[in-house]
Amino acid sequence: MKRISAASARNIHHARKGTIFHYYMMYLFLSSVMLTSAGLCMHTVLKADRLDGEVSTYLRSLLQLERSLRTDAGNAVAAEVQANVLVFTNSEGQTHKWVCNKNVVTRETSNAEGLQSSERFAFHKGTQLSFQESGSSIVATLIEAAIMTHTENGQETSSTESNIVQMILPLPETTEGEPS
């Protein structure tokens, strides 16, 4: 067994002085890197969840709009088509009036007694909906607004691509203003 003298013990003690501080700093650095990484991952997941919710709401509104338009067109005996207004009249005398005002589409159901119900379909700002007659059908065209995107240097730019959704509805046998 080797004996350590008091002088060599002092040298060992002095050689280790301050090394705990470096270990502590390394521990803080690694901990901060791990916490920052976890925070960025959580931020990305929450942002993706929010965007998924917005797209889901948009698609539900679009599907409900299409379902209602197709139901009204299928039950209609007469239709009146204008650029921003579409009016269906069914055999019971009910009138379904579709009015487009910027990014909001309103469906108003009325009969001889007056307004019975009203539905609103709201889309993103800048979205446009229009109606036009095309042969034996009505074409409802929904044009989404251009999406704002961020470039690499952080400036916002407008996307040149805009989504276009067209719904082709059957034209009733008789159309107001034009005999079939």
CB atoms within 10 A of CB 94: 16
- Identify whether 115 is part of a domain: yes
**Residues 28-67: tens digit of each pLDDT:** 999 999 999 999 999 999 999 998 988 888 889 989 999 9
The verdict on residue 32 lying in a domain is: yes
Let me know: does 124 contact 138? Beta carbons within 8 Å.
no
Q: Model pTM?
A: 0.67
Most confident range (mean pLDDT) of 23-37, 76-90, 143-157 is 23-37
- Give the pLDDT confidence of 94-135 residue by residue, as tens digits: 999 999 988 899 999 998 888 888 999 988 888 888 888 888
In a domain, 4, yes or no: no
Judge contact between 142 and 61, C-beta under 8 A: no
Which amino acid is present at 55? V
122 within some domain: yes
Domain extent at residue 148: 9-170
What's the structural domain count of the chain?
1
Average pLDDT, whole number, for the chain?
A: 82
In a domain? residue 1: no
Please list, in sequence order, all residues whose beta carbon lies within 8 angstroms of the beta carbon of residue 21, skipping any fewer than 6 positions away: none
Which residues have CB under 8 Å from 104's CB, separation 6+?
A: 120, 121, 122, 123
Q: Is 95 in a helix, a strand, or coil?
A: strand
List residues bridging with 164 in a β-sheet: 143
C-alpha distance across the termini of the chain, in Å: 115
